[in-house]
Amino acid sequence: MGHASERHADHFDVQTSADDRAWQTLSQVLAAGNSTAPRQYSYLDHGVARYGAAMVYYRLCQVDTDGLSQFLPVRTLLVDAPAWALAAYPNPYAQDLSACLTSVETGPITLTLLDAAGHTVLRQQMAAEQGNQVIALPAAAAVPTVPYVLRVQQNGHIGTVRVVRR
């Protein structure tokens, strides 16, 4: 990502959307300020699976030192969506933890949070639909601040992801 000319640029807001309508800011990247030389910037979205979409949209918002802003052209990313996948975000998390499940099946799921010794700290069962879904885990805010494994089972599928409460 970059911009060929930065006049009074303060920073860039890296924004994303799963539908090109509702946007959220992922990160802020400091700009060079007053520069006419081309500059390269980069940002890696480690949690791209959380959008549960085959295409994810990204854009930059350049914010100048005087507070004025402008949006740069939208860019898209095609995401290879597996038939069954599990992701957790944010990771590490402080209070709110969510699981993003991609499934080609409809059926009940069991979410289990395990401590380092393999003991169940949290267990949640629910119905799940085919497709992508985000499942909030509000009870995960009450566990101690250590690493865990989040395990999700649906029919014959089992997915695990390491999560850390900080």
Question: How much is the pTM?
Answer: 0.54
Same domain, 72 and 90: no
**Residue 33 pLDDT:** 67
Let me know: does 6 contact 41? Beta carbons within 8 Å: no
Q: Looking at 22, 56, 78, which one is the last position of a domain? A: 78
Domain count across the chain = 2
Q: Are residues 128 and 68 in the same domain?
A: no
Report yes or no on 15 lying in a domain. yes
Q: How many CB atoms lie within 10 A of CB 6?
A: 20
Check if the beta carbon of residue 38 is closer than 8 Å to that of residue 4: yes
Residues 104-162: tens digit of each pLDDT: 788 899 999 999 999 999 999 999 888 888 999 999 999 999 999 999 999 888 899 99
Q: Are residues 112 and 52 in the same domain?
A: no
| Domain coverage including residue 19 | 9-78
Residues 90 and 73 in one domain: no
pLDDT at position 88, please? 93
Whether the per-residue pLDDT at 4 is higher than 50: the answer is no
The identity of residue 47, as a single letter, is: G
Q: Are residues 71 and 119 in the same domain?
A: no
pLDDT digits (tens, 9 = 90+) for 43-68: 888 777 667 677 889 999 999 888 89
Per residue in 57-97, pLDDT (tens digit) is 999 999 988 889 999 999 988 876 567 888 999 999 999 99
Q: Are 100 and 60 in the same domain? A: no
Q: How many CB atoms lie within 10 A of CB 15?
A: 17
Q: Is residue 101 part of a domain?
A: yes
Domain boundary among 59, 78, 97: 78
Query: Last residue of a domain, which of 78, 102, 121?
Result: 78
Residue 3 domain-assigned?
no
- 17 Cβ partners below 8 Å, 6+ apart? 23, 24, 56, 57, 58, 59
Q: Residues 19, 23, 27, 31: is their CA dihedral positive or negative?
A: positive
Contact by Cβ (8 Å): 6, 29: no
Of 74, 40, 80, whose CA–CA distance to 58 is shortest? 74
Distance CA 30, CA 19 (A): 27
SS3 state at 142: helix
Give the domain CATH number at 159. Answer: 2.60.40.1930
Shared-domain flag, residues 48 and 95: no
40 and 69 co-located in one domain = yes
